[in-house]
Amino acid sequence: MAAILEVTGLHKHFGGIHVTQDVNFSMEEGEQSAIIGPNGAGKSTFMNLLTGYYRCDAGKVVFEGQDITNRPPHWVARRGISRAFQISSIFSKMTVAENVRSAVHAQMRHSFSIFGVASRIGVEETGRVLSLCGLEGKRDLVAGELAQGDKKRLELAIALAGKPRLLFLDEPTAGMSIEEARSTMELVDRLNRELQLTVLFTEHDMGIVFNHARKLTLMHRGEIVVQGTPEEVRANEIAQKVYLGEHHP
Ligand SMILES: Nc1ncnc2c1ncn2[C@@H]1O[C@H](COP(=O)(O)OP(=O)(O)OP(=O)(O)O)[C@@H](O)[C@H]1O
Ligand SMILES: [Mg+2]
């Protein structure tokens, strides 16, 4: 399979502190994998570098054969990379459907000149995304009043409005009950399977990681220290020392 993402020699420092060091990383199309590592390892920074939220000090990011290094976030998003981070992407006073529709319109503004056409297609696209995320029945609810699991679904729906081919999820199940986490990750699995969406997520719960990632990358102090299948990483001595040991006593 072709590589959808190729990262080489990525460096980032804040002041004198190197938070990303010589990171080489790639993803194949359709893959669903996870980045794990202790607090402060550099996982979120890595995602911020790939999506243009932070500038890289050195290195190269290539997406679908195109160099996207240090392109601004909106450019990266329009190119086909989406991210769902915190709840902050949701407009809490708008309804579920209005949230998705505004994301769909924001994405389409650049592809259509006749607003009438954009508007009709926007309605169809909003319906498609709501149904994909199991939110049709909740489309008229006020977003701010949703349960945590539904907020995450809505956040995913907003991320999908741009029809991304690569999706980054930073701790998608943080703050959720076990049941909400399970249903959120089932949705992620389904998006990966049905849309052939390539997914990279960070997660501290090793149960979720081992159930939902086919490949793991372990980061420690800004460097990739181990990469492989969940079984390979679980059996790796460095991984046990750096991270897994403390989570699986
Ligand atoms: N904007 C910033 N300015 C200065 N330092 C930063 C900034 N963003 C991140 N850092 C530092 O970079 C390091 C990596 O942080 P990062 O948030 O990427 O870790 P993480 O692996 O996502 O941790 P966690 O599991 O707790 O989310 C930390 O030492 C952090 O303090
Ligand atoms: Mg983080």
Q: Looking at ligand 1, which atom is closest to the CA of residue 48? A: 18
29's tokens? 């199309």
Q: Looking at ligand 1, which atom is closest to the CA of residue 222? A: 14
Rounded to an integer, what distance in angstroms lies between the CA atom of residue 125 and that of residue 118?
10
- Minimal-distance CA residue to ligand 1 atom 12: 19
Instruction: Give all domains of the chain, ordered by start, each with its CATH number.
Output: 1-80+164-249 (3.40.50.300), 90-162 (no CATH)
Give residue 1's pLDDT. Answer: 63
Beta carbon of 35 within 6 Å of any ligand 1 atom: no
For CA atoms 59, 63, 64, 67, the dihedral sign is negative
Helix, strand, or coil here: 248? coil
Beta carbon of 220 within 6 Å of any ligand 1 atom: no
pLDDT by 10s per residue, the chain, length 249? 679 999 999 999 999 899 999 999 999 999 999 999 999 999 999 999 999 999 999 999 999 999 999 999 989 998 999 998 655 678 889 999 999 988 888 777 655 544 555 567 778 889 999 999 999 999 999 999 998 889 889 999 999 988 899 999 999 998 888 998 999 999 999 999 999 999 999 999 999 999 999 999 999 999 999 999 999 999 999 998 887 665 544
CB environment 10-35: b (16+ within 10 A), e (fewer): bbbeeeeebbbbebebebeebbbbbb
User: Packing angle between helix 148-160 and helix 178-195, nearest 10 degrees?
Assistant: 20
Rounded to an integer, what distance in angstroms lies between the CA atom of residue 169 and that of residue 172?
6
pLDDT in tens, 29-51: 999 999 999 999 999 999 999 99
- Minimal-distance CA residue to ligand 1 atom 24: 39
Closest to 63 in 3D by CA, of 54, 55, 53, 75: 75
CB environment 199-238: b (16+ within 10 A), e (fewer): bbbbbbbbebbeebbebbbbbbebebbbbeebeebbebee
Q: Which ligand is nearest to the CA of 53?
A: 1
pLDDT in tens, 205-221: 999 999 999 999 999 99
Give residue 249's pLDDT. Answer: 41
Give residue 113's pLDDT. Answer: 47
Give residue 59's pLDDT. Answer: 98
Rounded to an integer, what distance in angstroms lies between the CA atom of residue 50 and that of residue 58?
12
